[in-house]
Amino acid sequence: MTDTAPGTASRTPTRRYGTRPTMKDVAARAGVGLKTVSRVVNGEPGVTPDTERRVQEAITALGFRRNDSARILRKGRTASIGLVLEDLADPFYGPLSRAVEEVARAHGALLINGSSAEDPDREQELVLALCARRVDGLVIIPAGHDHRYLAPEMAAGVATVFVDRPAGRIDADAVLADSFGGSRDAVAHLIAHGHRRIGFLGDLPGIHTAAERLRGYHAAMNEAGLPVHDAWVSTGPTDPERVRAAATAMLNAAEPVTALFAGNNRVTVTVVRVLAERPAPAAPVALVGFDDFELADLLSPGITVIAQDSAQLGRTAADLLFRRLDGAGGDPRQLVLPTRLIPRGSGELPPPATSTA
């Protein structure tokens, strides 16, 4: 058998399992050239209706599906963006992720995402894996504080936007919520309702937002001329055990706090549990939490929170990312979205009469 048609795939006698028809196969079956198939698949003009029909028939008959890996290799753009966040299971990140996905979808891009679990090494590993995949852009909720490893990638044109926390040691776009201002408002709110001994329960102090929220706490206390005792401030991992212990310690101290400010939604939920478990005669403790959460209004009392719109955070970041991808130049920008205090009852509880003075 003479190999007259060099186009036929006769070089590989045994097709390995999982092999799929290619444009070459479609072309052979339809009796047209390779490029014509490509034109049909991509909806390019310049193909006779009759030819197009023949090609379409061959495509469906063979179950052909374009191999985007090859396309990407050829075109250089992947039409996909990467999202690296802390934990997809955290209700704060679900809406954010979904918002990023919607924007990506509007731009015809797919979303690849991964959870860093708040581990800088894992963040870097993920980000670099995404870069190896040649994502067009990255949305990163950073876990680490040094992102210089991204310099070659950004220089090569990978658009990058940081969310929730700024980039470390590198100049990049960032979209943040006003953690400092929101926290100051929260604590000022408690002070306005008569509290003087206010506890702060925060996340690991290395996390930017956690540090900012602590700063806001101190600012509000300072502005009111109130002292801050070391025992009133606790930062660390947000696992229920630690938060529970810290909250209990503050509540059972000789001079107990009369109000608590919880630094994020995980902490707030645990604090709500701790307060709910207190023996009945205990004086009610005021509480304001950073981050809104579902059902906060249905608890009794309703939980007063500083709300930040995580979906809006994601949408803003993704919009900025695609503007960069569309060629928008200029220096890196830092956008700060406002927060909003939602009073629901728990933050408006007055301190017990004995400690008002």
Partner DNA sequence: CCCGGCGCTGACAACGTTGTCCAGCAGTTA
Partner DNA sequence: TAACTGCTGGACAACGTTGTCAGCGCCGGG
Of 10 and 252, which CB lies nearer to DNA in the complex structure? Answer: 10
Single residue of 2, 4, 14, 42 touching DNA by CB under 7 A: 42
DSSP 64-112: ----HHHHHHHHS--SEEEEEES-TTSTTHHHHHHHHHHHHHHTT-EEE
Task: With contacts defined by CB under 8 A, name the span among 132-140, 201-209, 279-287, 344-352 that binds a copy of itself.
Answer: 132-140
In whole angstroms, give the CA distance from residue 43 to residue 66.
Answer: 13
9 binds a copy of itself (CB under 8 A): no
- Contact track, a copy of itself, 143-162, x by CB under 8 A: --------xxx-xxx-----
Which residues neighbour 322 within 8 Å (Cβ) at sequence distance 6 or greater? Answer: 103, 104, 107, 137
Q: If you ran DSSP here, which 8-state letter would residue 345 be given?
A: B
Interface with DNA includes 110 (CB under 7 A)?
Answer: no
Cross-strand bridge partners of residue 342: 305
State the sign of the Cα–Cα–Cα–Cα dihedral 346, 348, 349, 355: positive
Residue 194 CA to residue 350 CA, distance in Å, equals 6
Shortest spacing between CB 157 and DNA, in angstroms: 12
3-state secondary structure of 19: coil
* Assigned token pair, 35: 């490029």
Chain centre to alpha carbon of residue 185: 24
- In degrees and rounded to multiples of 5, residue 92 shows phi and psi of -70, -35
Token reading at 57: 């028939």
Query: Which range, of 41-49, 239-247, 261-269, 271-279, touches DNA by CB under 7 A?
Result: 41-49
Interacting partner of 355 out of a copy of itself, DNA, none (Cβ under 5 to 8 A depending on kind): none
Q: Which entry of DNA, a copy of itself, none binds 32, CB below 5 to 8 A by partner kind?
A: DNA
Does position 322 bind a copy of itself by CB under 8 A?
no
Question: Interface residues with a copy of itself (CB under 8 A)?
Answer: 16-20, 63, 65-70, 72-73, 76, 78, 80, 87-91, 93-95, 97-98, 101, 105, 110-115, 128-134, 151-153, 155-157, 269, 272-273, 276, 293-295, 298-300, 311
Can you give the binding site for DNA, defined by CB under 7 A? 6-7, 9, 11-12, 19-20, 22-24, 27, 31-36, 38-39, 41-42, 45-48, 50-51, 64, 66-67, 70-71, 73-75
